[in-house]
């Protein structure tokens, strides 16, 4: 069996010029980055305002497991399948982060015959967006420390600086550090730490901004910390929003590439799915909707995190709604939710599968509560038995739920035709009444409670005394009417990663909150959330190389 990179290297890419021509774009609408990548103008949505929007299909999944669900692969495969049956579809995905590529993952751009290409570039520096975000984030950090070093006119309390430096790397030694040591020439000593770049609020902002003007307004509003009087200090107070925008002027432009079957894909932005909202940029989704009849896009983690945030945060920022949802599940992952351990997943186990279906069931209910039509996609693995796949299909049919077995990893778009046809039907259906889980006018506590009860299936929430104080402070600061962005383990519907399947009778504990005023949401932390990953004992990097004739090895 070929690896992902071998399949990628065997694929025939069209010149990106040809892809742009097929999309009806003119020379001024895009810039090449190499022969197979392009940046699109960030003003296409405005330029094409009169054109009707294509239909938006959101791909989400059950709670992820180590067995893998293949949500990106299904997203790419569905886009290819739509094109195969004569539709004009565009895929919109997140950009991978270099840290996990070097660490565990080795690559993240779909898989098999449903990949976005050139995968070597997309997984490394791509068009430099993450580097630009790193630069803007760290320019702001340097300006903060310089301001304090140069007399601290704004009266910033060095103990209350919330703005951290970032690096696009898995580097645990930078999680907790002390900076400014070594005397008066080396700044003011204080505790600090690095996050990974995708956890930067600037990444979340870039992904929610409508345009350059909105980007600037949001960046101006970032709260970097507090004064000694505990008043918030913003980027605007430091007067550096112009410089940060300058550093982001190209990063805001969506990136166009293609799949293994030459389907256009816009890959842009990649915010964390815990402390941020976990979907590609709004500009990318909107641009794709102007250029295609169908946009296939995904949200991070399971429907409890990714889809909820897509629907409660991103669709609010962009004032739109999806036309259909795909919920991805695999036999393997459902068996894990039914209690099977990772080393026994290749054995048929219909009972465990049935038990694991409860996880899928909860996510179906969630999508139903948003009032959206949906299709279940079974992402087929070679080890799945017919008894197993039939079990899922029968379960769905008995509930009048559309389901499609997809084989896009092994067969590309061809393996997703049934799914594509069912999704098209769903986008045309009338049984749709989109409603969000909470209103912006709800109190912060009520917003959290509604998500915990209606999406996670919790009995309620428990607020730490710190969280209670923060909620009071944030509402006093005028931050009460923003959406909330839940940071919770992705492995369980609850806040305990060990509780697979569909847990019940649990409470969600709210440890603390963080304001992302520029991004426009309040982050709600349940338990520890790691914002700087570490490297494993044998990092993926150890297998990477470039041969003398320029061939890349070790990405997969």
Which of 30, 126, 163, 301 is catalytic? The answer is 301
Tell whether 70 is in a known binding site.
Answer: yes
Tell whether 481 is in a known binding site.
Answer: no
Query: How far is it, in rounded angstroms, from Cα 127 to Cα 534?
Result: 25
By beta-carbon proximity to a second copy, the closer residue of 187 and 515 is 187
Active site residue 409: yes
Please measure the distance between the N-terminal and C-terminal CA atoms of the chain and give it in whole angstroms: 13
Which of 194, 374, 381, 521 is catalytic? The answer is 381
Sort strands 110-111 and 114-117 into parallel, antiparallel or unpaired.
antiparallel
Helix (H) or strand (E) holding 212: helix 212-220
219: buried, middle or exposed (CB in 10 Å: 19+, 13-18, 0-12)? Answer: buried
Query: Residue 244: which residues within 8 A CB-CB, separation 6 or more?
Result: 136, 139, 140, 202, 219, 235
By beta-carbon proximity to a second copy, the closer residue of 13 and 403 is 13
Query: Residue 497: which residues within 8 A CB-CB, separation 6 or more?
Result: 489, 491
By beta-carbon proximity to a second copy, the closer residue of 473 and 553 is 553
Sign of CA dihedral 275, 279, 281, 282: negative
Active site residue 301: yes
Rounded least distance, CB 90 to a second copy, Å: 22
By beta-carbon proximity to a second copy, the closer residue of 235 and 364 is 235
Main-chain phi, psi angles of 4, to 5 degrees: -55, -45
Active site residue 310: no
Q: Any idea what DSSP says for residue 52?
A: P
Q: Restricting to residues 173-192, which ones interact with a second copy according to CB under 8 A?
A: 173-182, 185-188, 192
Helix (H) or strand (E) holding 38: strand 38-40
Instruction: Select from 53, 88, 139, 162 the one that contacts a second copy (CB under 8 A).
Output: 139
Q: Restricting to residues 524-543, which ones interact with a second copy according to CB under 8 A?
A: 534-535, 537, 539, 541-543
Rounded least distance, CB 334 to a second copy, Å: 32
Main-chain phi, psi angles of 311, to 5 degrees: -80, -35
Residue 209 contacts a second copy per CB under 8 A: no
Which of 30, 409, 479, 521 is catalytic? The answer is 409
Rounded least distance, CB 239 to a second copy, Å: 5
Query: How far is it, in rounded angstroms, from Cα 462 to Cα 445?
Result: 10
Active site residue 273: yes
By beta-carbon proximity to a second copy, the closer residue of 176 and 504 is 176
Number of residues that bind a second copy (CB under 8 A): 75
Sort strands 521-525 and 512-516 into parallel, antiparallel or unpaired.
antiparallel
Build a one-symbol-per-residue string for 3-42: x at contacts with a second copy by CB under 8 A, - elsewhere. Answer: ----------------------------xxxxx---x---
Tell whether 67 is in a known binding site.
Answer: yes
How big is the chain by its Cα radius of gyration, in Å?
23
Which of 39, 55, 71, 447 is catalytic? The answer is 71
DSSP string, 230-282: --EEEHHHHT-HHHHHHHHTTTTSPEEEEETT--EEEE-----SSSS--B--H
Give the Cβ contact number of residue 86 at 10 Å: 6
Active site residue 249: no
By beta-carbon proximity to a second copy, the closer residue of 135 and 263 is 135
Which of 17, 105, 316, 432 is catalytic? The answer is 105
Residue 545 contacts a second copy per CB under 8 A: yes
Sort strands 507-510 and 403-406 into parallel, antiparallel or unpaired.
unpaired
Tell whether 49 is in a known binding site.
Answer: no
By beta-carbon proximity to a second copy, the closer residue of 383 and 543 is 543
Active site residue 272: no
DSSP string, 468-521: HHHHHHHHHTT-TTS-EEEE--SS-SSS-TT--S---S-EEEE-EEEEETTTTE
Return the range that interacts with a second copy (CB under 8 A); candidates 120-128, 200-208, 358-366, 374-382. Answer: 120-128
Active site residue 381: yes
Residue 104 contacts a second copy per CB under 8 A: no
Q: Restricting to residues 213-252, which ones interact with a second copy according to CB under 8 A?
A: 213, 216, 239-240, 242-243, 245-247, 249-250
Q: Restricting to residues 470-529, which ones interact with a second copy according to CB under 8 A?
A: none
* Active site residue ranges: 71, 73, 94, 105, 273, 301, 381, 409
């Amino acid at each position: 069996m070929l690896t992902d990179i071998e399949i990628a290297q065997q694929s025939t890419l069209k010149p990106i010029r040809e892809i742009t021509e097929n999309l009806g774009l003119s020379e001024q609408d895009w810039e090449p980055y190499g022969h197979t990548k392009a940046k699109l103008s960030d003003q296409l949505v405005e330029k094409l305002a009169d054109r009707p929007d294509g239909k938006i299909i959101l791909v989400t999944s059950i709670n992820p497991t180590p067995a893998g669900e293949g949500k990106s692969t299904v997203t790419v495969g569905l886009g290819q399948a739509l094109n195969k049956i004569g539709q004009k579809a565009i895929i919109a995905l997140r950009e991978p982060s270099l840290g996990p590529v070097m660490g565990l993952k080795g690559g993240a751009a779909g898989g098999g015959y449903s990949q976005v290409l050139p995968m070597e570039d997309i997984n490394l520096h791509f068009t430099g967006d993450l580097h630009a975000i790193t630069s803007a984030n760290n320019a702001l950090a340097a300006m903060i420390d310089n301001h304090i070093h140069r007399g601290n006119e704004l009266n910033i309390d060095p103990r209350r600086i919330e703005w951290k430096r970032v690096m696009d790397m898995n580097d645990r030694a930078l999680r907790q550090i002390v900076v400014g040591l070594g005397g008066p020439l080396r700044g003011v000593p204080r505790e600090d730490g690095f996050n990974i770049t995708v956890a930067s609020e600037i990444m979340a902002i870039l992904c929610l901004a409508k345009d350059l003007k909105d980007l600037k307004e949001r960046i101006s509003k970032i709260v970097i910390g507090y004064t000694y009087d505990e008043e918030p200090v913003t980027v605007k107070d430091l007067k550096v929003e112009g410089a940060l925008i300058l550093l982001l002027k190209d990063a805001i432009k969506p990136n166009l590439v293609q799949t293994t079957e030459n389907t256009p894909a816009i890959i842009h932005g990649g915010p964390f799915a815990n402390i941020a909202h976990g979907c590609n940029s709004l500009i990318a989704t909107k641009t794709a909707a102007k250029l295609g009849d169908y946009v296939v896009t995904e949200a991070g983690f399971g429907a409890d995190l990714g889809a909820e945030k897509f629907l409660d945060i991103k669709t609010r920022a962009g004032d739109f709604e999806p036309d259909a949802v795909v919920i991805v599940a695999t036999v393997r992952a459902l068996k894990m939710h039914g209690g099977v351990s990772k080393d026994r997943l290749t054995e048929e186990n219909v009972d465990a599968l049935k038990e694991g279906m409860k996880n899928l069931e909860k996510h179906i209910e969630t999508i139903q509560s948003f009032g959206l039509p949906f299709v279940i996609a079974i992402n087929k693995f070679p080890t799945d038995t017919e008894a197993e796949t039939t079990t899922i299909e029968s379960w769905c049919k008995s509930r009048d739920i559309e389901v499609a077995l997809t084989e896009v990893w092994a067969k590309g778009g061809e393996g997703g035709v049934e799914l594509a046809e069912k999704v098209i039907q769903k986008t045309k259906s009338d049984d749709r009444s989109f409603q969000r889980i909470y209103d912006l006018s709800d109190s912060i506590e009520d917003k959290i409670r509604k998500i915990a009860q209606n999406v996670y299936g919790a009995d309620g929430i428990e607020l730490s005394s710190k969280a209670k104080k923060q909620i009071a402070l944030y509402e006093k600061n005028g931050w009460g009417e923003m959406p909330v962005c839940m940071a919770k383990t992705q492995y369980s519907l609850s806040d305990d990663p060990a509780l697979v399947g569909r847990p019940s009778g649990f409470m969600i504990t709210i440890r603390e909150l963080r304001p992302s005023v520029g991004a426009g949401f309040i982050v709600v932390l349940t338990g520890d959330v790691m914002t700087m990953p570490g490297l494993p004992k044998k990092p993926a990097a150890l297998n990477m190389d470039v041969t003398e004739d320029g061939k890349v090895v070790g990405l997969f």
